[in-house]
Amino acid sequence: MTGAAALPDGGTDVLDGARLTLWAPPGLPEVRPGDDLGVLVGDLLAADARRTGDPLAEGDVVVVTSKVVSKAEGRVVRAADREQAITDETVRVVATRERPDGQPPLRIVENRLGLVMAAAGVDASNTPDGTVLLLPEDPDASARGLREVLRARFGLDRLGVVVTDTAGRPWRDGVTDIAIGAAGLRVVDDLRGGVDSHGRALSATVTAVADEIAAASELVRGKATGRAVAVVRGLARYVPGAASDDGGAAVGPGARSLVRTGPDDLFREGAAEAYARGFADGRAAPSR
Amino acid sequence: MTGAAALPDGGTDVLDGARLTLWAPPGLPEVRPGDDLGVLVGDLLAADARRTGDPLAEGDVVVVTSKVVSKAEGRVVRAADREQAITDETVRVVATRERPDGQPPLRIVENRLGLVMAAAGVDASNTPDGTVLLLPEDPDASARGLREVLRARFGLDRLGVVVTDTAGRPWRDGVTDIAIGAAGLRVVDDLRGGVDSHGRALSATVTAVADEIAAASELVRGKATGRAVAVVRGLARYVPGAASDDGGAAVGPGARSLVRTGPDDLFREGAAEAYARGFADGRAAPSR
C-alpha cells in the first residue's frame, strides 16, 4: 500500500495513493419475497468481517444487484406473463428486433425508471422456475433504505450504496453492469470547470462514477457464481458524510439522475423505426 | 484477505475468495512522440514495485490510456486541423448535434476502428496547447506490443494489457472508459451454455470484461490527476498463459472484437437522420 507521503505528487493528489479494493462476500441465502434485505446483507457483511477481520468502514460502497432487491420486494411475475410484464413496464418502445423460431420480437424500451433496456429489464435468469423478475419499484429508494439499515447496524456515517443491473449497449458487444439505484454517493464526478495536468480547462468531462462502480463490482461478483453483494473500498472521495459540506445532500442525487432521455436524445428511436416513420410522413406530405 | 478454504462455497468458486485490487502508480513523465512507451511504463511499474515492495505478478492486467499511447505514437495534429482530423478518422457519420456560438456541429461517427464516438475520438484535453490527439493507429497492436515488452522485462507469462478511451453512451449521462485495445486477455466472459445458481441455462450472457476493466481502472486513475497507467490484480482467470489450453490464442481476440456495428446495429443512424432519410424517400416514392 503506497502512502501519500511517498508519492511524487504528494498532497495535491485526490487519490492519495490509495488502492481500490473490491470483494464479494459469499453466503447470501436465497432471497424470498418479504425478506428484509437490509438484515440479510448486514448479516452477510458481519459474517464476512468475522472471517476476514476487516469490517465495513467509513467511505465504503456496498453494491447490491437489483435481482436480490427485486426478490425481497416481491417483484415476481409468472413467466407466462412475461410479454405482458414487459408491456406494463414500458413507457415507450425505442426499437424492436425480430427473433427466430416464433418468439415475439425483442423490444428495446424506455421503462418507467427511464432506463432504455431490452425487455424493459424484465429478467428470467437466477430466478425460480416459472417466474420472471421486474426491476425494483424505485431502486434509488431501495438504495436509501439499505443505506440507512447498514449505517445504523455498523455505526457508520459515510456509506454509499449502489443497486446494479446488467444492460447491453449500442455499438458494443457484451453486457456490463450499470447503476440503477444509488444513495450516499456522488454518482458523477463533474470536472467541468476544472483543469487538466496542462492547466487547460477540462471540457465536457462528467464521469459516470456510479456506472463505473457497478461495472467494477461485476468483475468481482461474477455472473455464474450469483454473488449479489460486493464491497468497494477506496472511493471515499465520492461518499460524503452527513456532516460534510454536502449537508443534507449526503444521500446524493440517486442513479435516476444518470438517465438521459427526452427530446435531446439523439438515439430516442431505432434507425429502422425512425426511417419508417419518416417514410410514412414523407409519403403523406403534400407535394410541392 | 479471504482464503478459498474459508469460503462456504469452497473450491468450486472461480473467484476463489480473492479480492480485486487496483492501483495507479504516479510518476509517468510527459509522453512525447517517439518515446518508447513500453520502457516508460516498465520504468513506472519498476519504481512502483520498489516503493511498495509489490511487483507486477502473473495474471495482472496493466491498463494504459489511449492518450499516452497516441502521444508515444506521434498521433498529434495541429488543433486548427481538428475538423479535418475528425473527417479523416470517420468511416460513417452516425448522428450530428448542433452546437451554440458558431461551432461546427458535433459529429458522432463510426471511426476507422469501428468505434462510435463523438468527434471520432479526436481529443483535446491533456494535450499540449495547439494540438489534438488522434486515437492510436491500431490499439490492439499497441496493447500486444506493450504486453511483450512488459512480459520480457518482468519475466512474466500471464499478463494482460488494456488500452482505454473515454466515451459517452446513449441514454446515460456522463462518460465511462471502455477498452479500445487489449492483449493477453479474454475480453468477454461468455457464459452462454452455462447454468446459473438455479441450474437454469444462462441466456445471452456475454459480459464485456475488458470494458468493465477499463471502467474500473478509471476510478483509480482519475481524470483530473492525469494518471495514465493502472494495475488490476485479481482477474487472472481472464489472463491465459502461453502454455495454457488457449495455446497460441493467449494474446486474445483484442478489443476490436467488442465492436458491434453493421446491418445488425439497431442504432446505426441517429433518429433524426433516419427520419429525414425516410421522409425524403417517402416523398420520392411513386404514389400508390
> Does residue A69 carry a pLDDT above 70?
yes
Q: How far is CA B74 from CA B33, B71, B222, in A?
A: 4, 5, 24
Check B267 against A171: CB less than 8 A apart.
yes
Q: Which domain holds residue A101?
A: 76-134
| C-alpha span between B225 and B36 (Å, rounded) | 22
Query: How would DSSP label each residue in A113-168?
Result: TS-EEEGGG-B-TTS-TTEEEPPPS-HHHHHHHHHHHHHHHHT-SS-EEEEEEEEE
Mean residue pLDDT of chain A comes to 87
Mean pLDDT of all residues in B87-106: 91
Q: Is there a domain that residue A232 lies in?
A: no
Both A165 and A65 in one domain: the answer is yes
Say whether B131 sits in a helix, a strand or coil: strand
**A151 within domain boundaries:** yes
Task: Report the residue of B103, B266, B277 to disrupt the A interface, i.e. the one with the largest count of A CBs within 10 Å.
Answer: B266
CB proximity B116 to A under 8 Å: yes
State the Cα–Cα distance between residues A103 and B82, nearest whole angstrom.
47
Question: Quick one: pLDDT at residue A27?
Answer: 93
For residue B4, the one-letter residue type is: A
Residue B271 falls inside a structural domain: no
Do B176 and A276 make contact, defined as CB atoms within 8 angstroms? no
Decide if B171 and A265 are in contact by the 8 Å CB cutoff: yes
Considering the domain architecture, whether residues A65 and A153 belong to the same structural domain is answered as: yes
Residues of A in contact with B128 (CB under 8 A): 198
Query: What pLDDT sits at residue A8?
Result: 36
Residue A241: pLDDT band by 50, 70, 90 thresholds? confident
Average pLDDT of the segment spanning B139-166: 97
**Three cell numbers written together for B89:** 478518422
End residue of a domain, out of A90, A106, A134: A134
Whole-prediction pTM: 0.91
pLDDT on residue A224: 61
Q: Give the residue, A101 or A46, on which the prediction is more confident.
A: A46
Residues A68 and A173 in one domain: yes
State the cell numbers at A145. 433504505
Which cell goes with B158? 500471464
Position B241 scores a pLDDT of 81
**pLDDT grade for A263, boundaries at 50, 70 and 90:** confident
Phi, psi of B65 (to 5 degrees): -70, 150
Q: Are A93 and A104 in contact (CB under 8 A)?
A: no
Q: Is residue B98 part of a domain?
A: yes
Arithmetic mean of pLDDT, B103-122: 94
- For residue A71, give the nearest of A168, A144, A153, A142 by alpha carbon: A142
Q: Are B56 and B141 members of one domain?
A: yes
Concatenated DSSP letters for chain A? Answer: ---GGG-TTGGG-TTTTPPEEEE--S-PPPP-TT--HHHHHHHHHHHHHHHHS----TT-EEEEEHHHHHHHTT-EEEGGGHHHHHHHHEEEEEEEE--STTPPPEEEEEETTS-EEEGGG-B-TTS-TTEEEPPPS-HHHHHHHHHHHHHHHHT-SS-EEEEEEEEEETTEEEEEEEEEEEESS---EE-TT-B-TTSPBP-S-EE-HHHHHHHHHHHHH-TTTT--EEEEES-GGG---TTSTTGGGGG-S-GGGGB--STT-TTSS-HHHHHHHHHHHHHHSPP-
Under 8 Å between Cβ of B19 and B1: yes
Minimal Cβ distance to A26: which of B9, B202, B266: B9
Domain endpoint, select from B84, B102, B134: B134
Looking at residue A9, its pLDDT comes to: 34
Q: Is A123 on the interface with B (CB under 8 A)?
A: no
**pLDDT in the model for residue A17:** 57
Looking at residue A273, its pLDDT comes to 97
For the ranges A113-127, A129-143, B4-18, the maximum mean pLDDT occurs at: A129-143
pLDDT in tens, B115-152: 999 999 998 776 778 889 999 999 999 999 999 999 99
Q: What is the pLDDT of residue A231?
A: 98
Identify the CATH number of the domain in which residue A167 sits.
3.30.1330.100
pLDDT tens digits, one per residue of A131-184: 899 999 999 999 999 999 999 999 999 999 999 999 999 999 999 999 999 999
Q: Are A119 and A143 found together in one domain?
A: no
For residue A147, give the nearest of A242, A214, A82 by alpha carbon. Answer: A242
Q: Do the domain assignments include residue B221?
A: no
Q: Which residue(s) pair with A182 in the sheet?
A: A162
A266 interfaces chain B, CB cutoff of 8 Å: yes
Is B84 inside a domain boundary? yes
Does one domain contain both A142 and A187? Answer: yes
Q: How confident is the model at residue A288 (pLDDT cuts 50, 70, 90)?
A: low
Q: Which of B65, B213, B260, B275 to mutate to test the interface with A (most CBs of A within 10 A)?
A: B275
Q: SS3 sequence, B75-86? A: CEEEHHHHHHHH
Interface-testing mutation among B7, B54, B178, B219, with chain A (most A C-beta atoms within 10 A): B219
Do residues B167 and B53 share a domain? yes
Dist. CA B169–CA B162, nearest whole Å: 20
Report phi then psi at A73, rounded to 5.
-85, 5
The arrangement of strands across the sheet holding A116-118 comes to A90-97, A106-111, A116-118
pLDDT bin (cut points 50, 70, 90) of residue B226 is confident
Of A174, A178, A265, the CB nearest to B207: A174
pLDDT of residue A7: 32
The pLDDT, as a whole number, for residue A218 is 96
Q: What is the pLDDT of residue A266?
A: 95
A56 Cβ partners below 8 Å, 6+ apart?
A: A45, A49, A62, A150, A154, A156, A159, A231
Q: pLDDT (tens digit, 9 = 90+) per residue, A86-108?
A: 999 999 999 999 888 788 899 99
Task: Tell me if chain A has a CB within 8 Å of the CB of B50.
Answer: no
User: How many domains are there within chain A?
Assistant: 2
Size of interface A-B (CB pairs under 8 A): 344
* B127 and B156 assigned to the same domain: no
pLDDT mean over A24-52: 96
pLDDT at A64: 98
- If asked whether residues B141 and B198 sit together in one domain, one would say yes
Predicted confidence (pLDDT) at residue A264 exceeds the cutoff of 90: no
pLDDT above 70 as % of chain A? 84
C-alpha cell at B174: 456522463
pLDDT value of position B81: 87
A245-254, B45-54, B114-123, range with the lowest pLDDT: A245-254
Q: Check residue A196 and give its pLDDT.
A: 61
Residue of higher predicted confidence among B60 and A241 = B60
B60 in contact with chain A, both atoms CB, cutoff 8 A: no
Whether residue B244 is predicted with pLDDT greater than 80 in this model: the reply is: no
Q: Which of B266, B38, B77, B286 is nearest to B171 (CA)?
A: B266
Distance from CA of B146 to the nearest CA of A (A): 23
Cβ proximity of B170 and B183 under 8 Å: no
Minimal-distance CA residue of chain A relative to B3: A52
C-alpha dihedral sign at A122, A128, A129, A130: negative
pLDDT by residue (tens digit) across A189-221?
987 766 666 666 655 589 999 999 999 999 999
3-state secondary structure of B208: coil
d(CA B280, CA A285): 10
Helical ranges in B63-138 per DSSP H: 66-72, 82-89
Query: Which residues in chain A have their CB less than 8 angstroms from residue B97's CB?
Result: 266
- Which residue of B171, B197, B221, B275 is the best one to mutate when testing the A interface, meaning the one whose CB has the most A CBs within 10 A? B171
Residue B185 within a domain:
yes
Flag the least confident range among A46-50, B23-27, B196-200. B196-200
Name the pLDDT band for B99 (thresholds 50, 70, 90): confident
pLDDT at A14: 44
Same domain, A50 and A100: no
Residues of B in contact with A259 (CB under 8 A): 171-173
Yes or no, beta carbons of A52 and B194 under 8 Å apart? no
* CATH number of the domain encompassing residue B124: 3.90.1660.10
Q: How long is chain A?
A: 288
Is residue B29 scored above 60 in pLDDT? Answer: yes
Mean pLDDT for B210-237 is 92
Cα distance between the two ends of chain B: 73
Q: Please indicate whether residue B168 or residue A1 has the higher confidence score (pLDDT).
A: B168
Residue A235, in any domain of the structure: no
**B117 and B104 in a common domain:** yes
Residue B250 clears pLDDT 80, i.e. is over it: no
Pair A128, A151 in one domain:
no
The model's confidence at residue B6, banded by pLDDT at 50, 70 and 90, is: very low
Of A64-78, A190-204, B127-141, B204-218, which gets the smallest average pLDDT? Answer: A190-204
> Which of A91, A110, A134 is where one domain is finished?
A134
Which B residues, 78 through 97, put their C-beta within 8 Å of a C-beta on chain A? 95, 97
Top pLDDT among B195 and A168 is at A168
Flag whether residue B276 sits within 8 Å of chain A, measured between CB atoms.
Answer: yes
Identify the pLDDT of residue B197.
Answer: 62
